[in-house]
Structure 1
Amino acid sequence: MITLRRGFTLIELLVVIAIIAVLAAILFPVFAQARSKARATVSLSNARQFGTALTMYAQDYDEGLPLTDHAGAMASWIETVQPSVKARLLNRIVDDA
């Protein structure tokens, strides 16, 4: 004996799709806000690491901060401090978002 399985009607499918769309519309701004806060936290952490790198550099070089001009050399203070920082974060301190 063959039994027929009843599928979903078009109205039921449309209602489910509409509910999912409404939930997505509500949750997208929440996720965007969370992402923005996460970026701000990362930027704050990067700035703190940058301050720590400058402090470490100053301790290594008689409490002096890096110069902007290395007697004609093409190095910048970012390249000078870079060995004191683990990650390449000096170019990513401030978030533009």
Structure 2
Amino acid sequence: MSTVGARSHESASLQLCDLVAGLASRASAPEQPPEFREFLGAVIDAGFGEVTVFPVDAGTDFVSEPPERATGPDIVDRIARAVRGQRKGQGHAGS
């Protein structure tokens, strides 16, 4: 098996995964408006209940406001930098 990097806005399969993950996450929220519960029931009846997401646990915590602005490289930037360094034969780039 192999993996290939892709941008979700250029990949229909990644967009579908994002939608499924988002719906599964929202479905696990402790409080849902009646309209959403009705919609969710229809989605489950249409087959979503057959989708397995184990061992993914969406959790029930949702943020209520945007994240704080980053002041430096985040974990994705650091991983990308480390991978670039390894590809160039530089080994681990430590920050």
Q: Do they superpose with TM above 0.5?
A: no
Structure number having the greater helix percentage: 1
* TM-score, length-scaled by structure 1: 0.27
- Of structures 1 and 2, the one with the larger relative CO (CA 8 A, separation 6+) is 1
In terms of Rg, which structure is larger?
A: 1
TM-score scaled by structure 2? 0.27
